[in-house]
Amino acid sequence: MRYDIRLSLDHSYPAASDHVRNLLRLLPSDRPSQRVLRRLLTITPAPQERRDMVDYFGNATTLVAWHRPVAAISFHLSVRAERLAVSAMDISPRLNALAPEVMAAGLGPASPLHFRGPSPRIPPAPEIADFARGICQPGQTARDAVAALGQALHAEMAFDSLATDVTTAPAAAFAARRGVCQDFAQIMVCGLRALGIPAGYVSGFIRTTPPPGAKRLAGVDAMHGWVMAWCGTTQGWVEYDPTNAQWAGEDYITVAIGRDYSDVAPVRGALRTAGGQRATHTVDMIAL
């Protein structure tokens, strides 16, 4: 499936901010499951510094800085990308046979060894580990365990955009049984790691479909977060979306991957200002 994607992120500050420095992960890149045909990131006002690079996990990363006061900053992304079909066959080993394959993997950026232990935003959580072990059995295949845990979390959790914020720990969101896609994904990553399945966080875009008979509205698609899990040498990485209880298929375009949200945050950085700030976020993902 091929898409045109447009993203706008607009930030404004009551008091003009100086010494703004941001690290952006907004540009999709080619991956085994997708091709990027064109991409353009426009920033207004133009920063005094801009450096485009690739991080350790292969994510396109842009470092920008302003050295004069700015009252508003806008990031506009235009992308044409194609999501490729992925096999639905389960050729993964059983859970109790996965560990030797993990240990035999290399140490490159895609190695499962980077995704099997705690990470900055996903520390061990005994209650999530107990939940995952209650859902999955050692005799299950790794891929089947991924789907089982994702479906169980979808049934257990309620989507609530007001229940958490970007700093909420997975254990806290799980205790409340409420959260957004970031919480669903990080809880699932925590549970998979407890089962011995290397897992990471994926950020990107998901196409939304209006209800039958309703008109599609502009700007209502969204940036989204889901899970990648390593299911053995032969199966490799698979992607699952616990928020929607489905495999990440042709309705998904990946922007960045990492151990948790801290590795893939679309915009992060520092600024100096007074008062609050206002931010708006719109996405259009048009199937071609």
Domains 2-83+266-287 and 95-263 share a fold: no
Residue identified by tokens 């806008």 is: 74
Query: Domains of the chain: which residue ranges?
Result: 2-83+266-287, 95-263
Q: Is the peptide bond before 100 cis (omega within 30 degrees of 0)?
A: no
Cβ distance 75 to 43 under 8 Å?
A: yes
Q: Which amino acid is at 131?
A: F
CATH topology of domain 95-263: C8orf32 fold (3.10.620)
Residue 74 burial by Cβ neighbours in a 10 Å radius (0-12, 13-18, 19+): middle
Q: Map residue 2 onto helix, strand or coil.
A: strand
Query: Kind of pairing, strands 34-44 and 70-83?
Result: antiparallel
- CATH 2.60.40.2250 for domain 2-83+266-287, yes or no, is yes
Per-residue pLDDT of the chain (288 residues; tens, 9 = 90+): 999 999 999 999 888 887 899 999 999 999 999 999 999 999 999 999 999 999 999 999 999 999 999 999 999 999 999 999 888 899 999 999 999 999 999 889 999 999 999 999 999 999 999 999 999 998 999 999 999 999 999 999 999 999 999 999 999 999 999 999 999 999 999 999 999 999 999 999 998 877 777 766 555 577 899 999 999 999 999 999 999 999 999 999 999 999 999 999 999 988 877 777 888 989 999 999
Q: What is the pTM of this model?
A: 0.94
**How far, in Å, CA of 158 to CA of 174, rounded?**
10
